Amino acid sequence: MNNARAVSSSNEEKDQEAKKVVTFVTGNAKKLEEVKSILKLASTDEEEEEEDNKGGKKMMMKINLISRSIDLPELQGDPIDIAKEKCLLASREIEGPTLVEDTSLCFNALKGLPGPYVKWFLEKTGLDGLNNMLLAYEDKTAYAQCVFAYCEGGEKSAEEVEVFVGRTNGRIVKARGKTEFGWDAVFEPDEQRDVDEKKTYGEMEKEEKNAISHRFRALEKLREAKFR
């Protein structure tokens, strides 16, 4: 019995060693948890069915995702350019496969603001402040956008940074639900399944949010391109 456990443990360690180690630049444990959860959800129905027919486990990611907090400069500009530059800067410290994220909340009435600066607006004004930005406008529509930038690291990182963009349309509402995850409580996505009343991200269960979120859509593209 003990021998069997030892063999199983040894196999698991070998599987971990065989996986590519990718460093996700974040100091936010909840964000890392969400990204890991989404990557496991990102296999297609056809792939899951094929694995089930073989009597095997559903396909898991072929990477070992770890996190590292790196103090990067606060950049300004287009979200894609910001993500690319952050990835390049971080890869110089990591010296290996590097993943960074830049998230935006864009109000259509304000031509895309606050955009990538939503974190600072939220810190200064709170959730009520985000709502107040649209008081003078009938248009409360918005979109949440996530940009992941990835590079393998090394001397040619600048030429090899790739970006993957996910977007979810919705509207800005009074805060409802959990408020500890950024602006989730004020964003009500348009696409919702089997619900009588629409929910904000903050009111959704983790699995429910992860199936439609901007982060999921960006990570699904990343997975298809890099981690199959």
- Decide if pLDDT at 56 tops 50: no
The H-assigned helical ranges of 58-151 are 79-94, 118-132
Q: Residues comprising the binding site for Mg(2+)?
A: 74, 102
Please tell me the least confidently modeled range out of 6-10, 83-87, 191-195. Answer: 6-10
Q: Which amino acid appears at position 18 of this protein? A: A
Task: Name 146's Cβ contacts closer than 8 Å, sequence gap at least 6.
Answer: 101, 102, 103, 104, 165, 166, 167, 213, 214, 215, 217, 218
What is the per-residue pLDDT for 51?
Answer: 45
What is the per-residue pLDDT for 49?
Answer: 44
Please tell me the least confidently modeled range out of 17-26, 66-75, 139-148. Answer: 17-26
Q: Residues comprising the binding site for ITP?
A: 26-31, 86, 102-103, 181-184, 209, 214-215
Domains of the chain: 2-226 (3.90.950.10)
Check: pTM over 0.85? Answer yes or no.
no
41 DSSP 8-state letter: H
What is the per-residue pLDDT for 196?
Answer: 77
* Dihedral sign from CA coordinates of 204, 24, 215, 146: positive
- Cβ atoms of 89 and 73 within 8 Å: the answer is yes
